[in-house]
Every structure is written in C-alpha cells, then in structure tokens.
A and B are shown apart, each in its own frame.
Chain A
Amino acid sequence: MSNLLIKTENMGIQFGGLKAVQNVNMYLNKGELIGLIGPNGAGKTTTFNMLTGVYQPTEGAITFDGKKLNGLKPYQVSKLGISRTFQNIRLFKDLSVLDNVKVANHNLAKHSLLSSILRLPSHFSGEAKMEKESIDFLKIFGLDVYKDELAKNLPYGMQRRLEIARALAANPQLLLLDEPAAGMNPQETRDLMELIAFIRKEFNLTILLIEHDMHLVMGICERIYVLDHGQLIADGTPEEIRNNPKVIEAYLGEEVID
C-alpha cells in the first residue's frame, strides 16, 4: 500500500495504573482529511501526543511513511514530517509573529553554528531564505501585516492561525490540528474551514483533526474516528458516524426506549 502515510497498531499508553488510551488502530492515507472526535477526556490529545513523540506509547507501534516512530523524540518526529498545533495555544509569546514562523523554519536552512557566529556568507543566504519563506507562509494566512507584532499581542483567532502557519512552516506531510476552532465564532470557524481546505490542496497535506465543532468535522472530514474512554468505538464516513448508535451513546448517553 504505497498510499498509506501513517498507521498505528494496537497503540496504547498507560500512566501508572491508568490505561489512558488502548488498542488504537488507525491509518491515514496520503491526502486524506480525517477527524478524531470523542467526549472530553476520551484520550484525543493523548493520542496526538503519542503520534508526535511527546509521550512514548507503552504498547503497540506507529509507522509513518515506512518508518517506526516508537522511541523518537518530538523534534525527530517533526523532522520526519509530522507537525502539530496545540489545544491550548503554545506560541512563542514574546517573539514576533515572523520569528515564531522562523523557528519552525529552523531546519529549512542548513548554515552551521560557526558560520552564524563568524557571519559567513552561508549565514546570510540561509537567513534570507528563511525570512522569505516565513513571510510567504504569513501571507497565506493574512498575517504578514502583523509580522513585527509580538505573538502574545495578536487577537485570539489570529493566534490560532499563526499556530497553524507555524506548524506548516516545519514542512510537514502530516498535519495534526488539535481543536483549531476552539473559541472561535461561527464566521471565524467558516473561514478556518476554507483555510484548512486551501492549505491541504496547496501543500498536498494529510490532515488529522481533533474538533468538538461537529458542523466543522462533518463538513470537511472524509472519515472520522471516534474515541471514548481511551478506545476507538467507531470509524467511518461522517454519515455513518452520525447514525452509529455507539457514538450517539457516547455523546448523549444510552438511549431510553419509551
């Protein structure tokens, strides 16, 4: 299956005596846009953390693009091509908007430590390349006008956008978005949906999305995985998920037939 990008086999993690996530079998094909939903505390963010190396799964395996991810550090995972945003925005608050993106662009230019300290030509060409690329990313997100502003001074919606821009600058094949629409109003959410669709096409991305906004998830995802109490309880197209009794039960409680 050359089309397969990432696959997890019986992935799980245990914190002390608590099995936070177990037996997760997921796969994403190249170019797909997949949703990951579930009630609060279901283990969605924990799953993200395992995929990006923040947590090491205590059981099971993750294969990305033919390589095993188990045991890799987050920066190594990032270099392989998985980038993410965070549920509670984690920008570099005291850095300018431009520098935030430049940090993620870190591995784009290769000039060495010594060339930077001695200000050799490779430093200037490398930095110029990073600057240009970073501004290009900011333009896509309409953030180039704020480039010298400190990240913490941006309005909330813009901070969310900047986080996606930063994640993209790390040059991923797979983008993990952790509740990108959290706290946004309907108009902002609609804009965000368009933006996600746009970057997916533009950068040829595969996207895995955690979201509580069902309208957004059902609207743009091709397939959806549903987690509850650390286990996958369903997967399928939005239509299938909508009518899946287990999912309805997880979200609304058991059906009472009267």
Chain B
Amino acid sequence: MKKSKAFWGFLVLALVIYAVVQGMISGGMLDLYYQNILIQMCINIMLAVSLHIVIGITGQFSIGHAGFMAVGAYISAIATMKLGLPLIVAIILGAVISALAGLLVGIPTLRLKGDYLAIATLGFAEIIRIMFLNVEYVGGAAGMVVTNLTTWTYAFVGVVITILVIANFTNSRHGRGCISIREDEIAADAMGINTTYYKVVAFTIGSFFAGVAGAIYAHNFFIIQPTTFNFLKSFDILIYVVLGGLGSLSGSVIAAIFLTLVSAYLANFPETRMIIYSVVLIIVMLYRPTGLMGTKEITSLFKFGKKGGSKV
C-alpha cells in the first residue's frame, strides 16, 4: 500500500539520520553546542507539529500552546526531581497531564471560533503560567532546578513518534474529519462529522505532544522558569506553523528547523537578532504568502513517497 510505503520510508530515513548524527556525536564531530542546537531543533519540531494538528489540520486558531508545554515541563520536572521517577516515566506523565489540561481547556473554549478562540486559548495559557509562577513547590518566579537528563536520543525519538502519530492520525477517517472542519464546518457537520468531538480530539493530541516537548525541554536546560512559557513562546510556535504553510506537516517541520538555525546563528548578534528574525519572517511571507510548503507535503514532491520530517 502507498501509505505504508511512506511509513517505512520515513522510518528508514529516521534511522539513517539518527545513525549519522549519533556517529558524528560519538566521533566527536559535534560538540555540546551543536548537540544542544539539535535538541532544541527537535523540541521545536515537536512543538510545531503538535500545533499543526490544531491549526493546520483542524483549523482552530489556538495561540496558547506554550501553556501546555509548561504543564509538560513542570509535571515532568516534579516527577524526576521531587518524586525520583525515571525520565521516561516523567515524560509520559508530563504528556498525559498536559493532554488532560488540553481536554479541560478545549471542551469549553472550542465552542468559540476564530479570534475569540485565539483570545481564550491565550488567556488559558497565561493562567497556567501564572499558576506555576505562584506555586512555591515548583520554585515560583525563581524557577525550578532540573537535572540535565535529556539526550539527543530522547529528543529524536520524541520527534519520530510525534510525526508518526500525527501523520497517521491525519491520513485516516479521523484526520479527514478534522480537515473537513477546517474546510467548511457547516458542511462537515451536515455530513455526519461530530465537529466538537474532533476539535477536542485534535486539541488533546496537540497538547499531549506539546507536553512531551515541554518535558524534554525541562530536562535540557538545568532550570525552568515560568517566563519561558509566556505568550511570546506561543507565538514562536505559531510562526513555525504559519511559515511552514498551514496544513502542511512537512512544512511545519522544515520551518521549525529553518527558524531554529536562523535563531541559533543570530545569537551571535544579540542587538539585532530580533530585527533580522522579523525581517526573515516578513520576506518569507511576502514571497510565499501561503507558507514555505503551502498545503503540500514533501511526499508530493517525490512521487516515491517520503513523509514529512525527512530533513530532521
């Protein structure tokens, strides 16, 4: 079958990339600085792809994604630092709690549309952040010290699983249900699609993987602070998805990679960093108003079929 071919193609590609990078790390060709950029890239890809399912697939404009990342980060940090659980358990726990938070936020807010939904999700994300800010147990404004446990392997496996699950979801009757909501909600409803259910499902899956990204992020930087997860972070994630092309999985992956690299490179010019970053965004949106990939996937460029994320 066509789709399982793409699946195996993706897996083989992921293995090759992993082997190459791992080889380079073992061979000492990538020092800690570059490893860190790679991990950062993986985290951003996960965030981008998890927001893609909400905005790109289901068409629900949520700009509170950093809130769910924060839930994943804090819950996993509590699990490892306070409860002494292993990292893998902490990641899963963080993701599940984050998904639950997504469910709780999603059920009331997803009745709203467009701008109203955006404002509501933004508000919820701020509530989550301020909650962590005021809880002494997790360090309050000073932040929480977390041991560095994340390795490149964790981050990469996270990316592969995220992309696989979301690609599988999209290419099924469930994913088509979500896409039909994006295309025309009234018609989708009239064709027997339970629109509320699918919006909440997409939102919950998105929050789950934002939680995974948050958990991996938390164990990468020695410290997590509530300010990291403010609305600017949400906008960063939103930019990956819009720049990549709304509705394109591979687009959001490529945009996340591209912008991580731009951002890492621009760290050398701290004064002008945000200016150049903004100019890059403006130029891309001027010349590719539908985003880098439009709604197309990288698969449609090569007929033999590789999935998005082939440039991880």
Contact = CB atoms under 8 A, between A and B. Distances in A.
Interface of A: 52, 54, 73-75, 78-79, 83-84, 86, 90-95, 99, 102-107, 109, 111, 113, 116-119, 123-124, 126-127, 130, 166-167, 169-170
B191 A103 contact: yes
Given A107-B192, A126-B173, A91 B187 contact: yes
A83 B187 contact: no
A30 B78 CA distance: 63
Contact of B173 (A74, A91, A93, A127): A127
Contacts of B284: none
Given A92-B179, A92-B187, A95-B183, A170 B192 contact: yes
A245 B176 CA distance: 50
Nearest to A111: B173
Contacts of B176: 95, 99, 102-103, 106
B192 A78 contact: yes
Given A95-B179, A102-B173, A109-B173, 9 more contacts: A54-B189, A75-B192, A92-B180, A94-B183, A94-B247, A95-B180, A99-B179, A106-B176, A111-B172
Query: Which of A74, A83, A84, A109 has the most CB atoms of chain B within a 10 A radius of its CB?
Result: A74
A167 B187 CA distance: 10
28 contacts: A54-B186, A54-B189, A73-B194, A74-B189, A75-B193, A75-B195, A78-B190, A78-B191, A79-B192, A86-B186, A90-B184, A90-B186, A93-B183, A99-B176, A106-B192, A109-B173, A111-B172, A113-B201, A116-B168, A116-B173, A116-B174, A116-B175, A117-B168, A119-B4, A119-B168, A127-B173, A130-B173, A170-B191
A43 B258 CA distance: 53
Contacts of B177: 103, 106
Nearest to B169: A117
Contacts of B192: 75, 78-79, 104, 106-107, 170
Contacts of B175: 116
Contacts of B195: 75
Secondary structure type dominating chain A contacts = helix
Contacts of A91: 184, 187
Chain B contact residues, majority secondary structure: helix
Interface in B243-288: 247
A104 B193 CA distance: 8
Given A103-B177, A106-B176, A117 B165 contact: yes
Contacts of A123: 172
Contact of B180 (A78, A79, A103, A169): A103
Give the interface centre of B183, B186, B191, B195 by most chain A CB atoms within 10 Å.
B191
Contacts of A107: 192
Contacts of B180: 92, 95, 103
Contacts of B168: 116-119
A195 to B, nearest CB: 20
B295 interface: yes
B301 interface: no
A114 to B, nearest CB: 10
Nearest to A110: B173
A91 B184 CA distance: 7
Interface string B80-101: 0000000000000000000000
A107 B176 CA distance: 12
Contacts of A94: 183, 247, 295
A137 to B, nearest CB: 13
Nearest to B197: A75
A130 B171 CA distance: 13
B190 A74 contact: yes
B235 interface: no
B102 to A, nearest CB: 15
B190 to A, nearest CB: 5
B118 interface: no
A130 B190 CA distance: 18
A126 B169 CA distance: 14
B168, B176, B193, B195 — which one has the most chain A CB atoms within 10 A of its CB?
B176
A84 B184 contact: no
Interface in B150-192: 165, 168-169, 172-177, 179-180, 183-184, 186-192
B193 A103 contact: yes
B274 to A, nearest CB: 34
B18 interface: no
Nearest to B184: A90
Contacts of A104: 191-192
A124 B186 contact: no
B253 to A, nearest CB: 18
B1 interface: yes
